[in-house]
Structure 1
């Protein structure tokens, strides 16, 4: 009888004691560094979303080991930052206590799922021996001019009470708590990630990222090619620079608009408009970017000043407008109302002209645009534009850029959506930033010998409403001697974001106990880059981008061996509740993986999460399906034990032929992240074995156990032991697909669905003579159920020894 609650703890204990999953730094076998994103220990338990990613990628790691690779599959804890601090505030227990307790509970969970992590490499970002090197990397960035302090408009989350990087604001809301963010001006530490914009973009061609992941990064970096046009401010020495990708429409410009945060916004207005402009700016910068972008009614204020459009020597009024974002382009736009809907809405409110300068095909109207339906944003024939008249937009674009550059009115330019990374947080639970402020010397970095700057224990660690860090209250820690002059100095009280420790953690796994450097270069050469990295899509423009930036910087310092940290990146979908909604306690639809392990066993949880649907898509939890997976494992146990007890050694050819196909398909499905079809394939094999039990020998059961092992490691280890094989199945060789089975076949059968070709399959004389066997083999080998929704129930047309056509209509 299959008893997972007896089998699973036994093997988990033995695996830990024998360290069979530990990677070797000295092995000559080909390395395979496989990684899943380490979790925030910010709640009482890990959830089924963690389990889906970890268990599925664990199957990859297990397969790779069986294929002879020296696999490193490490794990740790991303324990600093807002998630852990918010949980501590919610429970009223200090984060140093909650984090330790949650790590202990989460580790027990992960072990109970049968994950093959190398626990000798475990890391914790709150360990001073770890964050010493996070601080050290920050100092290298500072010394290279890539970490700096500036007073800027930042995103403020009123709920989390901290500033956020642009990447942490999604649709105007905090990505952590979902609260609408505000804008405020504050001195901040920033990292100059923009210095790496071009490389972050171009080097995506050197990696194997799933296409949607790559596109997200490309769009976030947001490279645009165009021209930066200089507009002299009349009666002033100032020049406003406006970036545009459509200078061919510039004869239709009717105004200039500056973002409220533009460096000249507070300075440019004339005396009559100063008070109104000041008031408008104060109101605007408090709005979130979402409020500014979604505003149905455009707002703005005239400054009383003008610029000169040197293309046609017309004066353009200068406005401050909140729909112009500081994070886009040069924070200043040239408004062309006839050819941009937002510019038209603004111009319409302030009664500015909307001169038509591009005609779409079939339009001959040269008059001004008077309503939104007439606004045309596409390309066409240029009109009302002097020397550009009658050219098409593409030709006009090059002509006008050449003209602007020749006359010194502008130059070709490239802009990026990416902005420098707002790095400091006004929170307690994070890595202290290793600098002090000296009355005499200014900003002074902490010497390397004095690292780490240890986070002090604070009883009151709650964030303030003012934005001042709780560390400003730690007076015994706060005031120190300046490392330069030994005069009075004050420590930086902002801390690093939770993305700091995760920007390099994958390097520390390689050498977790090194006290002299963050990781030995020879070991880095052996293991980097990571061969396969899986994580959530929500981290594509956060952690994934930040860590690529840090790694490239370390490469420039000759501290890591290659230009990209991750050779391959995949992402998994979310596990939704049984009602198809996001899991939450308030909705009563949370599935606790511990309860599933208790009721059905870890192997059932693992196989169910793999079987639940395509890995990259969201799936809804199904209690019926988890019971079905458990019944499948019962059948595996029953057929295996019956055959072992029978003593039959050799299986019939059709049995071995089917499992041979299963070997190839299982390997391809696991490595192709088709985990659902991997499991369904196993189910089809087991069903066939049960139906043909008298023809099944121990040789087939051994092969079945080997291909089941990556997905269901506990039952596979137990069956391997019952078969009398040497411990462990997970260090055994993956069976080889035997092409001779195909070469020895008698017929190649063409397979169709509704008359359309879907493939061919090789069959023996006995197989084509038995329609039931033939259909089962075809359904399995070509994965017909999943791909084409075909089953044994479908009507079919058979041309003997040549063709089978399944009818679905």
Structure 2
């Protein structure tokens, strides 16, 4: 009588491939078919130099061409032997490379026990969604084998995984399926047309591909706007885990922001701006700075780089309106900017008189007492419809909120000559007047 069972669809892992690139197996085969491991003193087995890496006509792996490398001897007996001409799959290197980072300069072992215990496990692993099925599955398998063998002290290699989205781009294709480069087309009304022929093309946002001529060359962007602008724009495009379309207008806008930030610190003659003073800054800007420090710190810790950059933009806009920017406030802003735009941040740090890199400076801290707004803006409704907005002290009581709301000219127009039958006040949030 039959019964149900669980089928995990697991298969044995074919741990070999017929390619040149890969780690050689440390094995030799004697003439009688005996397989032996290469002695410890001869490890690692290195790939030989080859002029031709393509597959062979007889089906042998490319390493079979390295006759002198393949032919070897048994280190113990001197008997003729052959090396294995297969190589390990790419997973053999990519599944545990992070462990070597713990102790990369160690010449006696892969890593020391002390270094592995200090650095592992990995706090955050960022990779595409395609990693989750293959690479990360194999990496965990590899790590668990090392754990069972006593080489690592954690059962799992990664504490957190984050899948980043892709950067997409517009492609342009005519009715015959022919693709065009962006510089070959132009906007004509609501349509896109090939510049030299007038042929109408269809455009859509999709994955960058050489065959679709929509790959953005980073070198071209960096040459025109600089590395910081490209880096900043990639983080500003949208949430890190979303797919996002690339636009030249977007990177141009970010470049304008960096120029505005530079202008806060550096005058037209290249000297430190006269706005930067030891003291004398406004309380409003100080409050804005501490709000920015808290917001940017939170956003970076939560990988919300686009909103962190938006906060920095807001601060620059406010600072531009000020006559004085205190030096210590300017330094805090530069430190906040550094993770996103490291090159310009280092330049500004030097302009502020520092000889050491800002990498050694502590991260700015915010003052809780400076996070509370002195005034807030609230909406005022009449019969549930928005009729105005008023500014009140942040600690205003209900009576003050009502008096301020009724005194607003726009609100007054809608209650004049009418009877207020109900007053709804939500402290610090809104006022709603019900009239008839």
TM-score bracket for the superposition, by shorter chain length? 0.7 to 0.9
Shift of 1:699: 3.8
Aligned partner of 1:686 in structure 2 is 316
Aligned partner of 1:560 in structure 2 is 152
Q: C-alpha separation between the residues in 1 aligned to 2:65 and 2:123?
A: 45
1:524 aligned residue (116, 121, 134): 116
Q: How does 1:509-548 map to 2 (within 5 A)?
A: 509-548=101-140
1:473 aligned residue (52, 61, 65): 65
Aligned partner of 2:337 in structure 1 is 708
Higher deviation after alignment, 676-685 or 624-633: 676-685
Partners of 2:276 and 2:325 within 8 A in 1: no
Q: How has the CA–CA distance of structure 1 residues 418 and 670 changed in structure 2, closer, same or farther, with 3 Å as cutoff?
A: farther
Q: C-alpha separation between the residues in 1 aligned to 2:330 and 2:165?
A: 33
Shift of 1:619: 1.3
Partners of 2:123 and 2:159 within 8 A in 1: yes
| Structure with greater contact order relative to length (CA < 8 Å, sep ≥ 6) | 1
Shift of 1:473: 2.6
Q: C-alpha separation between the residues in 1 aligned to 2:74 and 2:50?
A: 23
Give the SS at the match of 1:490. Answer: strand
Q: How has the CA–CA distance of structure 1 residues 589 and 677 changed in structure 2, closer, same or farther, with 3 Å as cutoff?
A: same
Deviations 1:751-778 (A, max 9, x none): 89999xxxxx996589xxxxxxxxxxxx
Aligned partner of 1:722 in structure 2 is 351
1:669 aligned residue (284, 295, 299): 299
Q: C-alpha separation between the residues in 1 aligned to 2:318 and 2:94?
A: 47
Partners of 1:639 and 1:693 within 8 A in 2: no
Shift of 1:444: 1.8
Give the SS at the match of 2:235. Answer: helix
Q: C-alpha separation between the residues in 2 aligned to 1:647 and 1:694?
A: 9
Partners of 1:651 and 1:698 within 8 A in 2: no
Q: How does 1:169-248 map to 2 (within 5 A)?
A: none
Shift of 1:749: 6.5
Deviations 1:288-319 (A, max 9, x none): xxxxxxxxxxxxxxxxxxxxxx3xxxxxxxxx
Q: How has the CA–CA distance of structure 1 residues 652 and 550 changed in structure 2, closer, same or farther, with 3 Å as cutoff?
A: same
Q: How has the CA–CA distance of structure 1 residues 438 and 637 changed in structure 2, closer, same or farther, with 3 Å as cutoff?
A: same
Give the SS at the match of 2:72. Answer: strand
Partners of 1:651 and 1:699 within 8 A in 2: no
Shift of 1:683: 1.1
Q: C-alpha separation between the residues in 1 aligned to 2:132 and 2:70?
A: 36
Shift of 1:504: 1.7
Q: C-alpha separation between the residues in 1 aligned to 2:427 and 2:323?
A: 27
Aligned partner of 1:232 in structure 2 is none
Shift of 1:558: 0.8
Deviations 1:298-349 (A, max 9, x none): xxxxxxxxxxxx3xxxxxxxxxxxxxxxxxxxxxxxxxxxxxxxxxxxxxxx
Aligned partner of 1:583 in structure 2 is 208
Shift of 1:564: 1.4
Q: How does 1:643-654 map to 2 (within 5 A)?
A: 644-648=273-277, 649-654=279-284
Shift of 1:750: 6.7
Q: How has the CA–CA distance of structure 1 residues 462 and 695 changed in structure 2, closer, same or farther, with 3 Å as cutoff?
A: same
Q: How has the CA–CA distance of structure 1 residues 483 and 717 changed in structure 2, closer, same or farther, with 3 Å as cutoff?
A: same
Partners of 2:143 and 2:157 within 8 A in 1: yes
Partners of 2:276 and 2:324 within 8 A in 1: no
Q: C-alpha separation between the residues in 1 aligned to 2:379 and 2:114?
A: 53
Aligned partner of 2:363 in structure 1 is 734
Higher deviation after alignment, 574-583 or 447-456: 574-583
Partners of 2:31 and 2:81 within 8 A in 1: yes
Tell me the TM-score normalized by structure 1.
Answer: 0.41
Partners of 2:22 and 2:90 within 8 A in 1: yes
Q: C-alpha separation between the residues in 1 aligned to 2:221 and 2:354?
A: 30
Q: C-alpha separation between the residues in 2 aligned to 1:424 and 1:611?
A: 42
Aligned partner of 2:233 in structure 1 is 608
Q: C-alpha separation between the residues in 2 aligned to 1:672 and 1:513?
A: 32
Q: Which runs of 5+ in 2 are unaligned?
A: 172-204, 386-390, 397-423, 432-436
Aligned partner of 1:637 in structure 2 is 262
Q: C-alpha separation between the residues in 1 aligned to 2:291 and 2:28?
A: 65
Shift of 1:429: 1.9
Q: C-alpha separation between the residues in 2 aligned to 1:600 and 1:730?
A: 24
Aligned partner of 2:195 in structure 1 is none
Q: How has the CA–CA distance of structure 1 residues 514 and 575 changed in structure 2, closer, same or farther, with 3 Å as cutoff?
A: same
Q: How has the CA–CA distance of structure 1 residues 702 and 473 changed in structure 2, closer, same or farther, with 3 Å as cutoff?
A: closer
Q: C-alpha separation between the residues in 1 aligned to 2:293 and 2:59?
A: 59
Q: How has the CA–CA distance of structure 1 residues 672 and 635 changed in structure 2, closer, same or farther, with 3 Å as cutoff?
A: same
Aligned partner of 2:420 in structure 1 is none
Partners of 1:435 and 1:492 within 8 A in 2: yes
Shift of 1:631: 0.5
Deviations 1:348-391 (A, max 9, x none): xxxxxxxxxxxxxxxxxxxxxxxxxxxxxxxxxxxxxxxxxxxx
Q: How does 1:386-401 map to 2 (within 5 A)?
A: none
Partners of 1:597 and 1:605 within 8 A in 2: yes
Residue 803 of structure 1 pairs with residue 433 of structure 2 = no
Q: Which runs of 5+ in 1 are unaligned?
A: 1-309, 311-408, 756-760, 767-797
Aligned partner of 1:594 in structure 2 is 219
Partners of 1:644 and 1:723 within 8 A in 2: no
Q: C-alpha separation between the residues in 1 aligned to 2:393 and 2:29?
A: 79
